[in-house]
Each structure stands twice: as structure tokens, then as C-alpha cells.
Homo-oligomer: A and B are copies of this chain.
Amino acid sequence: MADINSNAKIPPQNSGGEATAGGAQARDAEAAWDIIELLFFAYRDFVGDPDAVLLKYAFGRAHHRVLHFVNRNPGMKVADLLDILNITKQSLGRVLKQLVDQGFIVQKEGAQDRRQRLLFATAKGEALALKLAALQTERINRAFGELGPGAHEAARRFLTAMIDGDNREGVLRQIARADRAKTRG
């Protein structure tokens, strides 16, 4: 299980009588198969939502990731973005250049440190970022609507607990900071 592409239907199974070729099954009883697979399918659908919109701009998911985090963290450094995305600067380079060239992101020289190229979403970039987030929010709110109250908090707690322990605080701080950044405006 890893990242995924997009949607697909679960096909009818042939459930034939053939036995598995392997021998040793039984002690995988405790494996959390349900969560592993639900996470796979849920995430697949979740990231699939924006794809149609991105297609119209000839953008891929790489662009989405960059735009999302830049929009959420106005003035972030290139190095910070690289750390969040965990890609090389060469990989970021191409995608970022396209976003800048097409006016979705601007880079401004750092005030204290003029080597830095701080990243900002333009109005155009923010509009796209919000459109994409709205699609995903729609799915999330639909889910919370189906589940009872408290579902949001439960999901937040579950997802937080799934993050690497040594990184969790940083993530929470980052989310809180971004919230502030985007709320004050």
C-alpha cells in the first residue's frame, strides 16, 4: 500500500476455489488490515477529487502540493517547502517555476536574509488553492455529516496519532500557525 492514483470501482471478485500458493497464513490475525485498506481507499478518493480541476490547468499533484502549502504558509522559505514535501530542490524547481511563470506564486527577497526567496500565493494562486481545498472539504464535511457530532474531533485525534511521534508537535504547530496566518490576512 502506498500512494495512489485516483478512483476506481471495486470489481466483482471471482472468489474461485483455488487455494493460496503460500503456506503460512494464520498469525497475521492481528494485522490491522481493515485500517490499512480503508486508509488506502479513502486517501485515493480524497486526492482524486482535485485531479479534474488540476487537469484544466495542465497541473499535476506536485503543483497542488506546492500551491497548497505556499498558500497556507505565506512567506515560507524554499527550504521549508522542501522539508515538508521531502523532495529535492531540483524536483521542486520545475514545478515551482511553472507556478511562478503562470502567476500562481510569487517569490520575494527575504527582508532580513536577502538570500531567501520567500514564497507567496498570488490572488490567482490563492483562488485555485481554495477551489481545490473546497473540493476536499466537501468530502470531509459530507463524512462528518454522516457520522455523528464528535466525528471531527475523533478524526483529528486519530490522524494526529498516526503521525510520527517526533514530528507530531511540529505538524500541529505548523497547522496552527497556518491557521493564524490565513485568518488574520
Q: Mark A residues whose CB is within 8 Å of B.
A: 1-26, 28-39, 41-47, 50, 61-62, 64-65, 68, 71-77, 79-80, 83-87, 106, 108, 110-112, 116, 118, 120-127, 130, 132-134, 136-137, 139-144, 146-147, 151-152, 154-164, 166-167, 170-171, 173-175, 177-179, 181-183, 185
- Nearest chain B CB to A29 CB, angstrom units: 7
Output the nearest chain B residue to A151 by Cβ-Cβ distance: B158
- Nearest chain B CB to A61 CB, angstrom units: 3
Query: How far, in whole Å, are A108 and B111 apart by their CA atoms in the complex?
Result: 65
- Nearest chain B CB to A122 CB, angstrom units: 5
CB <8 Å contact, A125 and B22: yes
When distances are taken between beta carbons in the complex, the residues of chain B under 8 Å from A159 are 35, 38-39, 41-42
Query: How far, in whole Å, are A77 and B12 apart by their CA atoms in the complex?
Result: 10
CB <8 Å contact, A167 and B126: no
In the assembled complex, 11 residue pairs joining A and B whose CB atoms fall closer than 8 Å, in A order, are: A14-B75, A17-B111, A20-B126, A21-B74, A22-B122, A25-B182, A33-B182, A34-B179, A38-B160, A42-B162, A147-B161
Q: How many identical subunits does the complex contain? A: 2
**Contact A170-B3, Cβ < 8 Å, known A25-B126, A137-B36:** no
**Contact A46-B39, Cβ < 8 Å, known A65-B2, A75-B18, A140-B32:** yes
CB <8 Å contact, B1 and A136: yes
Query: How far, in whole Å, are A79 and B24 apart by their CA atoms in the complex?
Result: 26
**Of the residues B15, B35, B146, contact of A177 by C-beta under 8 Å:** B15
Q: Pick the most buried of A21, A23, A62, A120: most chain B CB atoms within 10 A of its CB.
A: A21
CB <8 Å contact, B162 and A84: no
When distances are taken between beta carbons in the complex, the residues of chain B under 8 Å from A3 are 2-4, 43, 47, 61
